[in-house]
């Protein structure tokens, strides 16, 4: 049964996962929505309810946005995180990525241009 309140969009982009303010792992977004994302973390296992930050990387590896998140599930594809305490500006940016473009490629390029 689907529990999400918003759509998910399959957009592949690089990101960093932070724990206690320090980068601990790189990953790739599998899909993203207003409430969270599924992240390919390779073999790394994260505990449910673990707090971390997700930093979305833009052009040349610069940070486009860092979002606080909570691990909600682990699957063979990756770890599902729910965003926590998203600001109105961050939510507006997420909405632009999700609903401002008809194609996935243009949304991915928008993420890359976010820090340009």
Please tell me the distance from the alpha carbon of residue 115 to that of residue 62, in angstroms, as a whole number: 7
For residue 58, what pLDDT band results from cuts at 50, 70 and 90?
A: confident
Check: pTM over 0.95? Answer yes or no. Answer: no
Of the candidate CATH numbers 3.90.226.10, 2.60.40.10, 2.40.10.220, 2.40.128.130, the domain formed by 14-113 belongs to 2.40.10.220
Please tell me the distance from the alpha carbon of residue 93 to that of residue 70, in angstroms, as a whole number: 20
Taking residues 74-95, report their average pLDDT.
90
Tally of CB atoms within 10 A around 112? 17
Output the CA–CA distances (angstroms, integers) from residue 90 to 18, 22, 82, 87, in the order listed. Answer: 18, 21, 14, 5
Please tell me the distance from the alpha carbon of residue 76 to that of residue 12, in angstroms, as a whole number: 17
């Amino acid at each position: 049964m689907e529990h999400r309140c918003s759509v998910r969009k399959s957009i592949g982009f690089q990101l960093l996962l932070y724990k206690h303010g320090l980068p601990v792992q790189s990953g790739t977004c599998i899909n993203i929505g207003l409430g969270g994302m599924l992240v390919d973390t390779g073999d790394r296992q994260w505990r449910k309810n673990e707090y971390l930050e997700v930093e979305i990387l833009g052009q040349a590896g610069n940070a486009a946005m860092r979002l606080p998140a909570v691990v909600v599930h682990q699957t063979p594809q990756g770890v599902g995180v729910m965003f926590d305490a998203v600001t109105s500006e961050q939510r507006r940016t997420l909405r632009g990525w999700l609903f401002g473009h008809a194609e996935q490629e243009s949304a991915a390029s928008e993420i890359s241009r976010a820090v340009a």
